[in-house]
Structure formats: structure tokens, C-alpha cells
Amino acid sequence: MNHTQIVSFVSRFEGEVRAAKKLGKPYHFSETNSATCGGHGISGTFGAALWLIDYVFQALLLGVNRLYFHQGTINHSPYSFWNATQVSPTYYGAYFVSLALRGATELSRLPSSRPEVAVYGLWKCGRLVRLVIYHSEFRGPDSPARSPEPVEIHGLPPDVLRVRLLRLAAQHAFVSATGMLSPDHVSLGNGFFDNRDCTFRSPPLYQTLPVPSGPLLLHISPSQAIIIELVSEIPAPFC
């Protein structure tokens, strides 16, 4: 889940992506999943959900057209998005990515003052509509308590009317439980999926932030990811 290592891993495929593009062909990651960088005891955890987010964004930035996340035999594959009785944390990661990418026509990586914090911009028809912030520092069950860290975002569109925040969180990276609103369970905006049918039992709730006159200041803890929705006065055009 370390951002620098994810960037390094995905960059290994740059030559193949360029070769495919040169021939006018799409390039796909087929049968990929957290087994690529995980394994038993890791692939079914919240850390794997966070890894998935950064992994997908880095692949898209590289020019990968599509990623197929392989699902194994139910109850015998720790990298599957669900088993017979529980929605996996990685399902939350996949949903987070889908929510972040919806309607976007362009993805970019924005400057960050710290190597462990990744900031992505989602654009629609040339307008910045959304941000994703990922704090990739590992937070384990025995990690000491610490305050969330400030992150400043510069260059917001001037016509932003509202700023909404949605946080993907868990107590630490090794959390594997889902399906309840509890500190030791994975949650998205204090919402969670029903383990019986994968639907939302409690829908995610966005936190509204004041529109700043300067940089946007927010706080994020290690082993967390955030979506920032930028609601503008004029809706993003179709393109």
C-alpha cells in the first residue's frame, strides 16, 4: 500500500503500454487483483482496499485502458471482493474508485508535499470536478495514536460553491471486518454494505466543508483515502 512502491511497480509495464499504443491497440491488466502485491493475511484487509485505489489510478495514468479484477473460488480466495458471508474490504476500495472516476474524462496527479500522500485530480471536459487524496503510510493495530495530518490543496476552480468530503476509513490497515458501523470495521462516509446482499445497509454521508478563499485545508490520517467533490456554480459540460 506504500504509494512510492506502487508507482514503481506499475511503471514496470510502461514499455508494454507504449508498444501497444504505438500499434493503436488497447492495453489491459487482465486477471489482476491484490495477490499481485498481497497474499494470505493481506489480500482480505483494509490495506488491500487502499492499495487497489492507488494501483488503479497509477495504471490509468500509465495508459492502461482497463483492469479486470479476477475473483477466485468463494471462501478459498482471499483476494475476492466477497465470500459466502462477508463483503471484503477490497469491495469498498473498488466502489471508492468507481465513485471517484464517475463521469470523469481525465485523471491527473497533483503536487503533494509528502511522498506518502498522493493527490489525484479528476477532470470533466477540462474542469476539475473531484479530488482523491490517499495517505499511504502504514497504520497497524499497534501504531501509536496520532492526530490527522493537514493537507493543503491549491488551485481550486474559482466558481466552486460547495466542497464535500467522503472518507474511506478503518481503525488500521489490517482490519478485515465489514458490515457494521464500528471503529474496527471498514466504513465509507460512515456507511457500509450489507454482508447478506452487498447493498448499502447504511448509505455513505458526505461531510460539507467551507469554501476557502485560498487553499483548501483538510485533514487525513495514515491509511485513509478521501474523495473531495467540487460542486461548481456552472455544471461541468458534456463532451
Assigned domain for 63 exists: yes
Could you please report the per-residue DSSP string of 110-165? EP-SSTTEEEEEEEETTEEEEEEEEE-----TTPPP-PPEEEEE----TTEEEEEE
Please say if the pLDDT value at position 239 is more than 80. Answer: no
Assigned domain for 217 exists: yes
Of the listed ranges 74-88, 92-106, 113-127, 148-162, the one predicted with least confidence: 74-88
Distance CA 127, CA 234 (A): 10
Q: What is the pLDDT of residues 180-230, one digit of tens each?
A: 878 789 999 999 999 988 888 888 999 999 888 889 999 999 999 999 999
Name the average pLDDT for the chain.
Answer: 91
Assigned domain for 14 exists: yes
Confidence of residue 166 (pLDDT cuts 50, 70, 90): very high
Q: Pick from 52, 44, 2, 40: which is nearest to 186 by CA?
A: 44
Confidence of residue 104 (pLDDT cuts 50, 70, 90): very high
Assigned domain for 237 exists: no
Q: What is the pLDDT of residue 236?
A: 64
- Cα of 198 vs its chain's centroid, Å: 19
Q: Which is higher by pLDDT, 4 or 44?
A: 4
Assigned domain for 55 exists: yes
Q: What is the pLDDT of residues 40-67, one digit of tens each?
A: 678 889 999 999 999 999 999 999 999 9
Distance CA 160, CA 237 (A): 15
Please say if the pLDDT value at position 173 is more than 70. Answer: yes
Please say if the pLDDT value at position 32 is more than 80. Answer: yes
Dihedrals phi, psi of 63, to nearest 5 degrees: 115, 10
Assigned domain for 88 exists: yes
Q: What is the pLDDT of residue 39?
A: 61
Per-residue buried b or exposed e for 194-224, using 16+ beta carbons within 10 Å of the residue's own CB: ebeeeeeebebeeeeeeeeeeebebebbbbb
pTM for this one?
0.94
Residue span of the structural domain in which 11 resides: 3-232
* Strand ranges (E), 70-126: 106-110, 117-124
Q: Pick from 109, 116, 154: which is nearest to 132 by CA?
A: 109
Query: Per residue, what are the HEC states of 154-196?
Result: CCCCCCEEEEEEEEEECCCCCCCCCCCCCCCCCEECCEEECCC
**Domain count within the chain:** 1
Mean pLDDT on 63-81:
88
Residues sharing a CB contact under 8 Å with residue 172, sequence separation 6 or more, in sequence order: 46, 139, 140, 141, 143, 223
- CATH number for the domain spanning 81: value is 2.60.40.1180
Distance CA 204, CA 190 (A): 6
Assigned domain for 136 exists: yes
CB–CB of 53/93 below 8 Å?
yes
Instruction: Dig out the grid coordinates for 8 from the structure.
Output: 514503481
Q: Pick from 203, 207, 212: which is nearest to 229 by CA?
A: 207
Confidence of residue 237 (pLDDT cuts 50, 70, 90): low
Q: What is the pLDDT of residue 44?
A: 87
Q: Pick from 172, 183, 176: which is nearest to 143 by CA?
A: 172
Confidence of residue 179 (pLDDT cuts 50, 70, 90): confident
Q: What is the pLDDT of residue 198?
A: 86
